[in-house]
Chains A and B, each alone.
Chain A
């Protein structure tokens, strides 16, 4: 069971917007930075967002991140078929002295 809670799946039509939530506690999300990772089928994860809301170079601005209190959100606008993937949130859990990931959210483009 993951320390961080994500919905198992979200779906939307092409061009629409989806949001993925990541809920934690004051010992993890509430006390640090959140990253978001995209894992396309059969590939290694790729970071989309780091330090809550920063995009690495090369990541389109269709992807956005935010954090409020003990929760974080990943937003994907202008959904494309190529966005079908598993998405994971991650953060440092101070109380555990360990990095933790959410269980992942599968995004389906209808």
Chain B
């Protein structure tokens, strides 16, 4: 059974750095073809893709947020970590991690439940 779960602070202050952890089970990020990404959704708004990391440690970032994002993986802990610097109230959103199955060319097949992050002083 594939599971993903996001964890991190629920409240951050403006200008602070957000660190979110995606802890998963049922697969390994060392397996060829596995990809894990982060997606966020401001309250009442659409999904926004943030970043992804490949099994071989290749990474991709949203062009509009690239300067603020860093994605890393810890294969031994089955975790993917996303950091976002210089947080602003507009970054208030539910943050999801999701997996692209290794036999899929595209599409996020498995999702975490999401974690709501509020940016406020």
Contacts and interface: CB of A to CB of B under 8 A. Distances in A.
Interface of A: 2, 32-33, 35, 37, 39, 44-47, 49-51, 56, 88, 90-92, 96-104
A78 B25 CA distance: 35
B26 interface: no
Contacts of B52: 99
A97 B49 CA distance: 11
A103 B113 CA distance: 20
A37 B106 contact: no
Instruction: Describe B's contact surface by its main secondary structure.
Output: loop
Interface residues of B, number: 23
B62 A98 contact: yes
Nearest to B96: A44
A45 B63 CA distance: 23
A44 B107 CA distance: 15
